[in-house]
Structure 1
């Protein structure tokens, strides 16, 4: 008898609890007396007993009691990101890990040990751990190609039979991730499932920010189109003395970073035709900076023009990931506009950009989110992620797959997620009259090393109180020293006119294996070179860089994706 069928019988067993001693559910462990007047007729008892016995036998086979606790303690290891936060807590040993350990031991008799992995080199470290056969039982990465590579070598557990056969044991996991996220990566040809996709609760991605106080000082309105945005940058440049006084020579009208693709996305994607098909989004969408979408080059051309007119930070290509130079320029008040993560200037409390601006410039010195880049249809299109996030997988060395699945189910339970997101009332948050949560900056063992503890809520990224209205209000409350108005505006704009990614369900694209990091590095390098090139050299630099990108594996991926789409959908260009 399949486990799903058998577990359905277990759930029905409670109906007959008064008739069968020992047939219990997790909420009632007391057996009723057979002589109880509400007991069913003997004929019903005799027909139900074999099924009840089969259910008990199956639980026994799995080593579980009727409350889904292992009769003998099981042990698992779980990956946790180490972000190296100054003043933070040990990621593998703190209040929150203890909450999880205590809960898993209490509810499932499973001992959990956390294994720290450096966040910023997690891809390389997971690679090395997998190669050595030492990866944690429950592992997490943003890189699906890494998982696919090791799956092809026999190093990853196929999760398909686990999620299918244990479905009735995992109500929180299935209820939270739903069929879509659980089966997002299931191969349509082989049926294998190498990873589960965590749920991205909010699709907030990036925003365009401008100095609100500078707009007021120059009597400018917030820009609503490309020309107005460019005119604003020119006004910042030409009025540097008015805005910065003795520091006029430090004026940076528009700032970006070496990662031009991410940091100018609202500008570049505004050049993409609004009628782009789902087919093209899939075929060319493996680069998450949208590099290969039609007309993208014209967005970079605009940046090149601005750079040569002194509107863009001239030193932006010199500083690698993690360097604080650009942030320090923003904190000092020298940057007029930039594009970045949707809430970037509001983060980090007293150490953040907004707090420093208030201290150095004044309380009115704020960055505000704006929408200045309509596309050819007049739409402020944002290409948003599908509602998926980190990829959760079990290395083949995992000897406790059911205990590991219970772990994923446990952290998906709403009560556990809310505690991990918000912490302890009176220590890390206060409950507001409207029921929302307001974050309190912790300075002791309750410090969270990641926003809303997303490194522990690995099936979930982003606040989720279970009530959408309270979630939005709690989100706005969560930025110490920042006017909630700024958060509300940023939250509204970042997904406005968004086009959410869809799942083409094409399965493995073999040409992508091992290519992600190399192609990303090539992309970043040639985009930087194209932006800083003399205007009359732009086309030559951009085209040479794109040719190298395509010849280095990009074209092979495009070709395989195109073939996969046409095999699945023929001449159709849109997903239903």
Structure 2
């Protein structure tokens, strides 16, 4: 209690001492370290602390992971190495947002949030309040792996830096050179059907249309039924993500889903009201109206999508891997298509920082330096190997050529368990959203399969050079932008589907644009511009 009172007095007496950067932008202030905790702490080497400590988390728990993380091999191994026990505070994914918000609002929150995926609004709100600790100096002093990552890839530090110049969270990071992961959702086509039709791989939007028509008109599976589905999916998002690059829009990657840079003016634009966006929707509407896209694309559940795919009925799709999704090996990757105006960019690529706030440390943390060292491990090679592969001899082996491979007990389980079910007692990365560096050497998911690597080679020549992360906004900008997004972005997505499905005629396009403008598009773009300028200058 005395320590708490002392901290409160310091906060009132010297409000800029804790958690807030000094006026000099090159200086930061770290949280005050408890003297007793620091005496127990080792700045380098292991264990991280001499006498065991417990840190309490609140953790988003995907349904694919174990019910008790302290029974999981990875965490038992890491606890032995560090002398740090984690009270995980597991919360099912579907209830995490509500429970974390209630805990923060009521002041009864943990020392850290794990696999949190907080919004940019929350990061700035609780960062400015001092609830989420500023990490700048902790990174500089106690997090060599994160520091090295920033040095090698400045764009990662840039993406994590908020409008006030401070870093309050640690992310899920896809290594920038792991291209099959940064472009994990790719277009696929049945090579055997192309061969049957005596057609070459489509290179343009028109050639893709001709392939889809041929699939519809031919009994390629030879069952006497017209059950082939030229393009199949349970969402139009993947198809749009792929086709945007053929129409010269969305040219700064997946993280910026509504604004990009106008190549004619070099200015920020809201591309959902442009002529090119309209032209792309007209193309997709043509596919949909001619029965070349499954009519259930807006309503199909994921399980039904996978089940239909397992029957080999899709002539093409956009997904991570048909081999892992459907259990089919007839598919090969497609290239980026060239559009009617000569555009041919692969824009469906994400910035390296995927989840900006996968991990935060709060002001209730009694061992911030130890916590910083604990989490830093997973942004380096040794920690990534443990996190994704487990323990050598138990979950993986190293081959003669230095490759890491899961043991047969996991990949060909004798009890008939699926790979994910077999992995459950050993790791917790299934479900995503974790704070760690994802590298091709250690991540053995679908994105690192031979088919996915080959598919990536098809799109690699056309990948855009620059991908934008989310822009840094102030608390006030975030609050106002959230309200504008709730109207504008919701409306344009609804209208996108209506235009594609033919429920809204394109003769109403001008009215649609006018409606978007009346919703406050000018103010929306002013805030986006402010964030963009801040991003450029950081």
Report TM bin, short chain: 0.7 to 0.9
Secondary structure class of the residue paired with 2:212: helix
Correspondence 1:27-38 to 2 at 5 A: none
2:173 equivalent in structure 1: 199
Pair 1:527 & 2:496 matched = yes
Structure 1, 434-443 or 223-232: larger mean CA deviation: 434-443
When the two chains are superposed, the root-mean-square deviation of aligned CA atoms in Å is 3.9
Match of 2:332 among 352, 360, 368: 368
CA distance in 1, matches of 2:239, 2:96: 22
CA distance in 2, matches of 1:224, 1:451: 40
2:112 equivalent in structure 1: 138
Correspondence 1:107-506 to 2 at 5 A: 110-119=84-93, 122-139=96-113, 140-148=115-123, 150-151=125-126, 154=129, 156-159=131-134, 162-164=135-137, 167-178=140-151, 180-187=155-162, 190-201=164-175, 202=178, 203-239=182-218, 241-248=219-226, 250-258=227-235, 260-272=236-248, 279-280=261-262, 291=272, 295-319=276-300, 323-340=302-319, 343-347=320-324, 352-353=325-326, 355=327, 357=328, 366-375=330-339, 376-390=341-355, 391=357, 392-440=359-407, 441=411, 443=417, 446-447=423-424, 455=432, 458-465=435-442, 479=449, 484=450, 486-499=451-464, 500-502=466-468, 506=472
1:17 equivalent in structure 2: none
CA distance in 2, matches of 1:455, 1:568: 27
CA distance in 2, matches of 1:319, 1:332: 16
Aligned-pair distance for 1:539?
4.3
Match of 1:98 among 63, 71, 76: 76
Specify whether residues 121 and 227 from structure 1 end up closer, same or farther in structure 2 by C-alpha distance, changes over 3 A only.
Answer: farther
CA distance in 2, matches of 1:302, 1:514: 32
2:481 equivalent in structure 1: 512
Asked if structure 1 preserves the Cα contact closer than 8 Å seen for 2:127 and 2:133, the reply is no
Specify whether residues 324 and 546 from structure 1 end up closer, same or farther in structure 2 by C-alpha distance, changes over 3 A only.
Answer: farther
CA distance in 2, matches of 1:67, 1:410: 13
Asked if structure 1 preserves the Cα contact closer than 8 Å seen for 2:111 and 2:365, the reply is yes
**Unaligned stretches of 5+ in structure 1?**
1-56, 358-364, 466-470, 570-574
Match of 1:89 among 44, 66, 81: 66
Aligned-pair distance for 1:174?
1.4
CA distance in 1, matches of 2:447, 2:499: 41
List per-residue Cα deviations over 1:526-550 (Å, max 9, x = no partner): 222111116x81342x665665556
Asked if structure 1 preserves the Cα contact closer than 8 Å seen for 2:62 and 2:93, the reply is yes
Aligned-pair distance for 1:137?
2.9
Secondary structure class of the residue paired with 1:257: coil
List per-residue Cα deviations over 1:300-356 (Å, max 9, x = no partner): 111111111111111111235xx311121111122111123xx33132xxxx40x2x
Secondary structure class of the residue paired with 2:214: helix
Asked if structure 1 preserves the Cα contact closer than 8 Å seen for 2:335 and 2:458, the reply is yes
**Higher RCO, 1 vs 2 (CA within 8 Å, ≥6 residues apart):** 2
Aligned-pair distance for 1:198?
3.5
Asked if structure 2 preserves the Cα contact closer than 8 Å seen for 1:199 and 1:388, the reply is yes
Secondary structure class of the residue paired with 1:306: helix
Specify whether residues 228 and 381 from structure 1 end up closer, same or farther in structure 2 by C-alpha distance, changes over 3 A only.
Answer: same
Secondary structure class of the residue paired with 1:208: strand
1:561 equivalent in structure 2: 528
Secondary structure class of the residue paired with 1:175: helix
Aligned-pair distance for 1:269?
3.0
Give the TM-score normalised by structure 1. 0.70
Asked if structure 1 preserves the Cα contact closer than 8 Å seen for 2:380 and 2:437, the reply is no
List per-residue Cα deviations over 1:388-414 (Å, max 9, x = no partner): 122232344444322321222222232
Specify whether residues 477 and 263 from structure 1 end up closer, same or farther in structure 2 by C-alpha distance, changes over 3 A only.
Answer: closer
Asked if structure 2 preserves the Cα contact closer than 8 Å seen for 1:129 and 1:135, the reply is yes
Correspondence 1:58-97 to 2 at 5 A: 62-64=38-40, 69-70=48-49, 73-85=52-64, 89-90=66-67, 92-93=69-70, 94-97=72-75
List per-residue Cα deviations over 1:502-543 (Å, max 9, x = no partner): 469754343334666776544443222111116x81342x66
CA distance in 1, matches of 2:525, 2:36: 51
Specify whether residues 220 and 228 from structure 1 end up closer, same or farther in structure 2 by C-alpha distance, changes over 3 A only.
Answer: same
Aligned-pair distance for 1:230?
0.4
Give the TM-score normalised by structure 2. 0.74
Aligned-pair distance for 1:235?
0.2
**Unaligned stretches of 5+ in structure 2?**
1-32, 253-258
